[in-house]
Structure 1
Amino acid sequence: MATQDEVTETIRGWFTGRLPQDLFDGPPEVTVDREEITIVGRIPEPETADDASEAERAAAREGRIKEFRERTRESRIRVASEAEHKFRRKVSWWVRCGETTQPFTTLAVPMMTRLRQRDRQVLDTLVDAGVARSRADALAWCVRQVGERAESWMAELRDAMRTVERIRDAGPDLDG
């Protein structure tokens, strides 16, 4: 069975070969999990006057992103349809223009969990305080907070998981 890294590399390679060569400035960033493939491509920043304000530059980037989205919609849908059939995962598109990154499509996957009263009280406090609209939103908020604040720890954990995968794959053949 292929490791997660091998699956990601295969999918990244497929998209690199399948996307129109002039779609993005360079190869796209490809992130893969069990349900979704996220493609983040860089597009050229629009030229603005040397004395343009940051507000003007931001508006120009926003306009460039909108133009790109509309112009490439059909080809992106065609590629996504092929990929979804081939890899059995949904495809999400994001674009990066200068310092602006914007999603076009994303997937929200429902997750089931059992929580004890103390954990439910945390979610209810977030709802009561107006941080979240529902327990589901509160749980998603908590997950985002951990992901943002524990980035180096999460990276270290993922590296350790890759090491375990390599060791497991190199282990003795127990089927023979």
Structure 2
Amino acid sequence: MITNELQERVSGWFAGRLPAEWQPATVTIDREEITVVLTIPDVEVEGTDAARAEARAGRASAFREETRERRMEIAQEAQHRFERTVSWGVAVGERHELWTHVAAPVMTRLRQPQRLVLDTLVDAGVARSRADAVAWCVRLVGQHEGDWLAELRQAMDSVAEVRAKGPAA
């Protein structure tokens, strides 16, 4: 479980380590990975939404190339310090890109009714495989149950705090 203390330590370290012009950054962590999404200034482009989208894509691409060495140096330091892979992304206006990220395998055992759900998604062309269908379902739950998941995480943090106050084993 990722505690609030660990999230604060990691976020604080990146706030102190990242150059000021790369701030604000959003730092998200799990058991395997730290994802740092940098917010860079939006583009000033007149014209269609398509032109603006392409300008944002160009700005993101240029930023990625211009900052690669420095990002890799910072990532290497963080990986040694926190024992997690560091992944990077950028937000430019409404455009959000992840450049690198971990796709961690997850094993599960499903009974036939659950497998039939996955097979229906595959057969309908919603997903390419059962694994893709599981990922699709997880994204859907994350989108529609965000408040509930946030409340659940907060409750888990409270349990961790109570455990920490208890007797040592």
Which residue number in structure 1 is paired with residue 28 of structure 2? 31
Question: Equivalent residue of 1:102, what SS?
Answer: strand
Identity %: 54
CA RMSD of aligned residues (A): 1.6
Which residue number in structure 2 is paired with residue 40 of structure 1? 37
**Cα 1:3–1:133, aligned 2, differ >3 Å: closer, same or farther?**
closer
- The residue type paired with residue 17 of structure 1 is G
Cα distance, 1:113 vs structure 2 = 0.8
Which residue number in structure 1 is paired with residue 122 of structure 2? 127
Question: Equivalent residue of 1:6, what SS?
Answer: helix
> What TM-score, normalized to structure 2?
0.93
For structure 1, the residue ranges without an aligned partner over 5 or more in a row are none
- The residue type paired with residue 132 of structure 2 is D
State the structure with more CA Rg: 1
Q: How does 1:96-175 map to 2 (within 5 A)?
A: 96-171=91-166, 173-175=167-169
Question: Equivalent residue of 1:101, what SS?
Answer: strand
For structure 2, the residue ranges without an aligned partner over 5 or more in a row are none
- Indicate if the aligned counterparts of 2:2 and 2:30 stay in contact, CA closer than 8 A: no
> What TM-score, normalized to structure 1?
0.89
Cα distance, 1:6 vs structure 2 = 0.9
Count matched residues.
Answer: 169
- Indicate if the aligned counterparts of 2:15 and 2:25 stay in contact, CA closer than 8 A: yes
Cα distance, 1:66 vs structure 2 = 0.8
In 1, Cα distance between the equivalents of 2:93 and 2:127? Answer: 31
